[in-house]
Structure 1
Amino acid sequence: MIFATVGTQLPFDRLTRALAGLAPELGEKIVAQVGAFGADQDGLDCRRQLTPAEFEELFTAARVVVAHAGIGTMLSARRWGKPLVVVPRRYALGEHRNDHQVATARQIAEIPGLYVAWKTDELGPLLRHHNLIPASETETPSRAVLVARLRAFVEE
């Protein structure tokens, strides 16, 4: 099963439309948390909102998770050891208030288990791959630098 989550603040119909287009060829169930204002898509099991328990159940049952570039989803992927495909929202397409998700995606692009699809047509090749490396909480050099910077900021 593929679990897609777009967060709770804004719809991300570009992502869910792309997944709906891929659904027939992927041949596996896709559950999508689309948010309060997201559009239902044929071929997807769309859910407006999820309780924390439902979110955890779907996340842990998924073969792979697809999401916007939200930090919470990335932390969940690392916590539960799931491959995560990130599609950053884009300001120019009216999907967010700025391009912070593009900046976030650039920062995580080299972290094992976190994959970035810069365009929705990059989703298919990633989702057809059944040997994606799961994300983990293993320390990486970039994480160590980030933690050190945050610690210095908090201590100031």
Structure 2
Amino acid sequence: MIFVTIGTQAPFDRFIRIIDEIAPSLKEPIIAQTYKGEYKPQNIKTVDFLPPDEFNKLFNEARLIISHAGMGTIISAMNKQKPIIIFPRKASLGEHRNEHQMATAKKMEQLNYVYVAYNEEQLQTLIMTPDLKPLHQLGDFASQQLIKSISEFIKR
């Protein structure tokens, strides 16, 4: 199962429409959290809002996460070792108040932490790629390097 999430701040109809158009080419179900969108998908199962326990259940069961460029979802995917494709919202299209999601996507791509699609073709190519693997893992604790750096800073 593929789990798609757009966050809970605003609809992301352009993204959901693209996912809906790709869905017939796939051989597995897609469940999308759509949050008050106007576009009515025909090929995917949607839910407007998910309580945290239901969201976590779907997240944990998913083979692949596809998301807006929200840091909460990105961090959760890395922590749970789930492959994630991010598709940033564009303020220039009225999808957000500024271009911070584009900046997040570029940085995550530069670090090779997540798969990033900036357009419909890239998104389709990534979704159709078999067996995407997680690109980066986050643990439950800070790295020894970070702890050492902070300790040295405090000692100064």
| TM norm. shorter chain > 0.5 | yes
Structure 2 counterpart of 1:119: 119
Q: Distance in 1 between matches of 2:145 and 2:38?
A: 36
Structure 1 counterpart of 2:109: 109
Deviates more, 1:113-122 or 1:18-27: 113-122
Structure 2 counterpart of 1:15: 15
Identity of aligned residues (%): 39
Q: CA deviation at 1:122?
A: 1.1
**How many residue pairs were aligned?**
148
Gaps of 5+ in 1: 152-156
2:77 aligned with 1:77: yes
**Larger Rg belongs to:** 2
Q: Distance in 2 between matches of 1:15 and 1:109?
A: 19
Q: CA deviation at 1:38?
A: 4.9
Deviates more, 1:130-139 or 1:8-17: 130-139
| Aligned-partner SS, 1:11 | coil
1:73–1:59 Cα change, 3 Å: same
User: Contact 1:6–1:12 (CA<8 Å) still a contact in 2?
Assistant: yes
TM-score (norm 2): 0.84
TM-score (norm 1): 0.84
Q: Distance in 2 between matches of 1:50 and 1:85?
A: 20
1:69–1:26 Cα change, 3 Å: same
| Aligned-partner SS, 1:73 | helix
Q: Which runs of 4+ in 1 moved over 6 A?
A: 143-151
Q: CA deviation at 1:65?
A: 0.6
1:56–1:31 Cα change, 3 Å: same
Q: Distance in 2 between matches of 1:77 and 1:62?
A: 10
User: Contact 1:77–1:136 (CA<8 Å) still a contact in 2?
Assistant: no
